[in-house]
Chains A and B, each alone.
Chain A
Amino acid sequence: MEGIGYKILGALLTTLLAFTVGMFYAGFRRKIIARIQNRVGPPVYQNFLDVLKLLSKKTSVNHGIMQHLAPLWLITMSVSTLMFIPVLKDGLFFTNLNFSGDLIFLLYIMVFGPLGMALGAGQTGNPNSAIGVSRGLTQMVGFEIPWIMAIVALMIQYKTTSVTGLLDIQSQNGTWMMFSSPLAFIAALLAMPGMFRYAPFDIVGAPAELASGPISEFGGKYLSTMMTSGSIFAFVKLTLYVDLFMGGASNLIELVIKTFALYMYPVLWGAVSPRFRTEQAVRYFWGWPLFFGFAALIYAAF
């Protein structure tokens, strides 16, 4: 029974960690973009205040059960995905359930949230939401392909499909996969900004065109749950990349350094970019990223 207690405590701690780190990263992002634009910018803890404020809103409005459930699907996806990702290589608390999932499973569970979100956005009846969903799903088809190619290349090269297995291989070989299979890393890296939906790939929620798209009817506690989920999910994605390509992390400081370094890439790209149109974004993903994906597959297979 003690094992289960530890597991639950570990799961809670992991969630809390992901939330905190994700929130601070989002705060840093705002700060960095502000500095790039020669502004002071909000304090780094600003996103905590935003979430708290939204949570303390006295009313919230929904258009039906699917909208009520949409943030729930999102956060369920984020937290469950977190449960199946090894946050630290050999921590007691942070292993969670990662022994019972693998990469394909992670790919699919990551879609669970956006699909629910899309259903909720659809129920609001706001045309902007539906347009945003249509764009978002189209963009997803774009970036998933190179990203999946990179992952399949890793799986074929190292003959394992589990994240833990890939981590073990990296610690056995003593090298990171970004060096041992660089082509896959490049493909995955090029696909990454699409996953984060920062500029130039912020076509889903484009505030100036779509009035923030799918989330345009969500406010109060719904929006705060979504922001929470978003920050957890950012951490999840970064951790997954670190686990796959950068050899994981054996303590929290290493994890924070690696994820932050990785996080800077979409953030800095986004800070100086305008917005793509949807078809431009997909064409981008089906250009060089796809080429590197193919190259990685061929490199892995032969």
Chain B
Amino acid sequence: MSENILHNEQKLLNLLEKKFLLKESRIIRAKRVEVKVEPKEVIPVLLYAKENSGYIHFAHMSCVDWIEDGEFEVVYILWHPEEKINLFVKTRVPRDNGSLPNIDFIWRQANTYEREIREMFGLRFEGLEGRKEFILEDWNNIPPMRRDFDTEAYVKEVFFHRLGREDAKDVREKIQERTDEELPDFAKKYSRD
């Protein structure tokens, strides 16, 4: 990796570092830049990236539940169509009573992601409009994508299970148990033995 190749990435980092108070910033690899900011810095950084640096495409927005730290990490992924660089803007908010600013006035499609995150993680976005119910229907448990939501217990409680699946082991183990059975001819050539 020569310096030349990472020229654009470095330029972006320098600009952002000069303008904003970044918690952390690094070039992950070529075409990948990551910055970590405070929640209140999110809108300025995104606006700056969009208006001044050419990151006009809002590619994705996702949320990670860091239950150990008691925080949610929200990742905004932007894309520069000419320089072909992904910019990851990461921010952390407290799991309890944390909230983020709404950014759907910058990119309208962010509304969809925000509503999904609101529903799946229970993270609040200030000033986000739209129906509360988005993908889930009549959900009255804790938001299902939180890590303290015990999916398996929920599934065992709510759904029925067909016998034969109760151990829920990997299929390969089941096959392993049957190795002494005679395989049919056509299956032999796919066999691992």
Asked whether the complex places CB atoms of A and B closer than 8 A, the reply is no
A residues near B, CB below 8 A? none
